[in-house]
Amino acid sequence: MIRASIISTGSYVPDTVITNNDLERIVDTSDDWIVERTGIRERRIVDSSQATSDLACEAARNALKKAHLRPKDIDLIIVATCTPDMAFPSTACIVQDKLGARHAAAFDINAACSGFVYGLHLVSSLIRSEAHKRILLVGAEVLSRVTDWQDRTTCVLFGDGAGAVIVEGTREKRGIISTHIHSDGSLGDLIMLPGGGSRFSCSMETILKKLHFIKMKGNETFKVAVRTLEELATRTMEENNLDPSQLSLLIPHQANIRIIQATARRLNLTEDKVFVNIEKYGNTSAASIPIALDEAIRAGRVIAGEYILLEAFGGGLTWASALVKW
Ligand code: UT7
């Protein structure tokens, strides 16, 4: 039996740091409020020359280098993003060109913050069916360009970044064991970016109404996220006949420290079994899990032969998990 195995990871965040104190000077907020309600202390944002594909390429080159692979060794590129460089060509095609990955097909997927875990679901099937041999999956976002910097309810939350993984088949008893994806479009209005698509195409009116910025009903989203992720994590373990105590690490989407702690409590996981970097980067949407995975590996917290659980929640609404035996 072939399983999909993550053979390498890479990540990239831009150099510019925006601290909570910087935000205190822009909107009516405080470091105390942001830390207490979200766990975020600072976030990274791009400079004026950078777009999502630039971040994605940095993360991808990093992953390729660690795997001693060349871009032409990749046969498929998938970029999970809700902030593509442009509507089309896809960010994945732009990445393919920039990397020089001339043997790869390329396309984007959008499941908002769950995009990377949705990507793992897809990649796992494509590798198991032997449709592709070696896939580059990137989660990359430039949320700072779709953030309303005058809206304190959203601008304190988001950041920019990218994370990448390279996935191959293995016949060993490890790799991506199971993936679980879910959606509820009836709750789509809880987090949305309405402007710039075919419903509200760019016009003076959409700009004046600020429709090109993220709109979020934070507190309602929070409640659904806690409930849904607790259920999802528990069910993922049950369906694999595993007890949560058999997990060596939970790598959750970094949206809010209180959501992360609620899932950890439900699984009875101690702090050392939960990877958190939200204080440094805020919510980087589809990039958050691959950045966290890359950092967790570099910190020696992902151990060969052990189980890790990835789980995400985001706009759509969407939520997803992936159980991996490293
Ligand atoms: O990644 C995808 C999914 N996204 C999420 O999962 C995010 C989910 N939501 C959250 O993380 C939280 O709901 C937030 C961090 C966004 C907000 O925290 P909350 O505890 O749900 O606060 P709230 O929205 O209930 O607001 C409480 C108060 C309000 O004031 P009043 O009405 O009580 O006077 C807000 O106006 O906090 C106020 N507030 C702020 N105060 C200072 C909202 N934002 C700020 C702010 N600084 N930045």
Ligand 1 mean position, distance from CA 179 (Å): 31
Hey, what are 113's tokens?
Answer: 């913050």
Taking the C-alpha atoms of residue 195 and residue 306, their distance in angstroms, rounded to an integer, is 44
| Residues in contact with 46: Cβ distance below 8 Å, sequence separation at least 6, in sequence order | 14, 16, 54, 55, 142, 144, 145, 160
**Residue of 57, 82, 113, 155 marked catalytic:** 113
Q: Could you identify the atom of ligand 1 that is nearest to the CA of residue 315?
A: 2
113 catalytic? Reply is yes
pLDDT at res. 145 = 98
Ligand 1 pocket, residue 318 CB under 6 Å: no
pLDDT at res. 72 = 97
Which domains does the chain show, CATH number per domain? 3-173 (3.40.47.10), 177-325 (3.40.47.10)
Q: Which of 313, 285, 268, 33 is nearest to 145 (CA)?
A: 285
pLDDT at res. 275 = 98
pLDDT in tens, the chain (326 residues): 999 999 999 999 999 999 999 999 999 999 999 999 999 999 999 999 999 999 999 999 999 999 999 999 999 999 999 999 999 999 999 999 999 999 999 999 999 999 999 999 999 999 999 999 999 999 999 999 999 999 999 999 999 999 999 999 999 999 999 999 999 999 999 999 999 999 999 999 999 999 999 999 999 999 999 999 999 999 999 999 999 999 999 999 999 999 999 999 999 999 999 999 999 999 999 999 999 999 999 999 999 999 999 999 999 999 999 999 99
Closest C-alpha residue for ligand 1 atom 42: 29
Closest C-alpha residue for ligand 1 atom 19: 219
Ligand 1 pocket, residue 38 CB under 6 Å: yes
CB 73 within 8 A of CB 104: no
Ligand 1 mean position, distance from CA 219 (Å): 6
Taking the C-alpha atoms of residue 24 and residue 285, their distance in angstroms, rounded to an integer, is 23
Residue with tokens 């909107």, as numbered in its chain = 27
Element spanning 126, H or E:
helix 115-128
Q: Which of 87, 142, 106 is nearest to 285 (CA)?
A: 142
CB 159 within 8 A of CB 98: no
pLDDT at res. 126 = 98
For the chain, what is the radius of gyration of the CA atoms? 19
Q: Which of 293, 257, 310, 317 is nearest to 66 (CA)?
A: 293
Residue 45 phi/psi, 5-degree rounding, is -135, 150
155 catalytic? Reply is no
The HSE-up count of residue 208 (CA atoms within 13 Å, CB side) is: 3
Ligand 1 pocket, residue 158 CB under 6 Å: no
Task: Tell how strand 3-12 and strand 160-170 pair up.
Answer: antiparallel
Closest C-alpha residue for ligand 1 atom 28: 153
